[in-house]
Amino acid sequence: MKSSYNGQAVIILENVSKRYFLHPHRVRELKRAILHLPTFLKTNRARQPFWALRDVSLTIRRGESVGIIGPNGAGKSTLLRIVSRLAPLTKGKLSVRGRVSPLLELGAGFHAQISGRDNAVLNAVLLGLSRKEAQEKLPEIVEFSELGNFIDQPMRTYSSGMYVRLGFAVAVHVKPEILLVDEVLAVGDADFQRKCFDHIEKLRQSKATIVLVSHDLENVKRFCDRAVLLNHGAIAAEGEPQEVVDEYLSSHFEFSAGAQEAGDE
Amino acid sequence: MRAVSVAAPRRFDLSQLARTWELLLLLTVRDVKLRYEGTILGFLWTLAKPLLLALVFSFALSRVLRIDVGDAPYVLFLLSALFPWTWFQSSIQFSAGSFSNNAALLKKVYFPRFVLPFSAVTSQLIHFLLSIPILALLLLAAGYRPGPEWLLGVPVLMAIQLLMLAGAVLLVASFNVFLRDLEHLVEVLMLLWLYVTPILYPLSLVKERVGAIIYLNPMASLIQAWRDLFLYDQLPGVDIWPALVFAVIALVAGSIAFKTLEGQFEIVL
């Protein structure tokens, strides 16, 4: 492993595999399930296994920035979901040390009828802070969001810009130990993207561990100490970002042909 | 090779427990605020609904059908059971969609998910607690004297109903992720359940006719205990055992359903 980091391992995946089942004709309505009971029982059993990840072993150490690249359907997002415990794994072992936050799940759980202030606190607690920490950070969050008096208004009165600003202000102040970023950087205007990268850079300097899933190979080269290339759910290459990116590009056409079969992530 | 072991870091450590509790608290406060914010009548509506319902039933059942409920005024007889029942019914109804309606959140952030249905139970509990003083006032006005037994009886019955609800909402909310129709089915079933529970009529009335089968209804003994407490200052006795049994069953069934189904949420949501 070409890593200059000798710190404590914070994310360890040992032979992690993840299987999904594809149900071509799954029925989710009671009415149809009852009306077509024999067909329901038959088709609901006709499922095809699909391995989104196969035997992935990966160790990420404290303070490291790791970029995950690969074609569509390679398992990049699945990997991130497994690390964030949103998806249970089928086989293997996972251990994560530290507070994991997804970057910029902007406004996850915001409720339009209550004030920006209340939403900010709830959002911060959802993202991993304690209530006390959230209350302490609140003045900074309000300041950063530039919402002024609007902070005590119900969020239904907000413009979409204000909505995003509050979400971002909370995300910035949560200060995770492990930050997971999933291609969200493609969303938002240029100014907003710059703010995101400033934020990632700051976290990097404060020794946070970062896992970045991206299609933007330039960003991976710029921000990551190490890159991992996934293909068909397995690690195809790992090492210096420049080398891994080159390898990916040189075999790109093969991969994209394969990804068509594998389907979407 | 089938062995799956996830080293869940610090699952039972204190900070995780504290965070779960804080989330539950914040969500409960949010729900209660949502109910009352901006409307002076918010809380009044919470009370007005069972009160108006009581008037309707009172007319239909005590004037038209002339059900004999003993010496208590029918409205008080009814409300002493209807308030705890409303807590039960609305908790289950509001929590049914708590996973399926929060898909966006569940897909993005990991947190102890059971706080979502639980917060429906706790916020409805707040409404119920707020209705107790109203009931006490009505009883006083009718010449009853709410006794110190309430101080012990209310927490005990509340705890039993809370356990029962915790299990029930986990069960309903988990299954509703996979069969959304359950939400609508639950609404109808709750109405049916209201009629088969001795709320509108005394327990003795059905006990004569159907016998001990009435205790197969998990709410029968519990509702009777609430009524005995509120109307006659009677502390719950051994008669409460069916409710306790059902509370344990609900809790076990709910936990198992939630644990097995939670892993599949990601596929369906």
Q: Region A228-249: what's the mean pLDDT? A: 92
A with B: how many residue pairs have Cβ under 8 Å apart?
90
The answer on pLDDT for B124 being more than 80 is: yes
Per CB-CB distance under 8 Å, the chain B contacts of A183 are none
Asked if the Cβ–Cβ distance from B181 to A29 is below 8 Å, we say yes
Averaged pLDDT score across all residues of chain B: 86
| Nearest-neighbour CA in chain B from A118: distance (Å) | 8
A10-24 tens-digit pLDDT: 899 999 999 888 766
Amino acid sitting at position A177:
E
Asked if the Cβ–Cβ distance from A130 to B22 is below 8 Å, we say yes
| Nearest-neighbour CA in chain A from B266: distance (Å) | 6
Asked if the Cβ–Cβ distance from A126 to B23 is below 8 Å, we say yes
The answer on pLDDT for B11 being more than 60 is: no
Q: Which domains does chain A have, with CATH numbers?
A: 9-40+49-99+225-262 (3.40.50.300), 116-205 (no CATH)
B-interface mutation test, from A100, A106, A125, A265, most B Cβ less than 10 A away: A125
Asked if the Cβ–Cβ distance from A86 to B1 is below 8 Å, we say no
Per CB-CB distance under 8 Å, the chain B contacts of A93 are 5-7
φ, ψ of residue B109 to 5 degrees: the values are -125, 140
φ, ψ of residue A180 to 5 degrees: the values are -110, 125
B206-235 tens-digit pLDDT: 888 888 888 889 999 999 999 999 999 999
Q: Domain spans of chain B?
A: 15-268
The answer on pLDDT for A39 being more than 70 is: no
Per CB-CB distance under 8 Å, the chain A contacts of B185 are 30
Task: Compute CA distances A19 → A49, A80, A92, A260, B9, whole Å.
Answer: 6, 15, 12, 18, 23
**Confidence bin at B75 (pLDDT 50/70/90):** confident
More confident residue, A127 or B261: B261
Residues of chain B above pLDDT 70, percent: 92
User: Which of 204-223 (B) contact A at CB < 8 A?
Assistant: none
- ipTM score assigned to the predicted complex: 0.78
A179-234 tens-digit pLDDT: 888 765 455 567 767 777 788 888 888 888 999 888 888 888 988 999 999 999 99
The answer on pLDDT for A263 being more than 50 is: no
The answer on pLDDT for B198 being more than 50 is: yes
End-to-end CA distance of chain A: 27
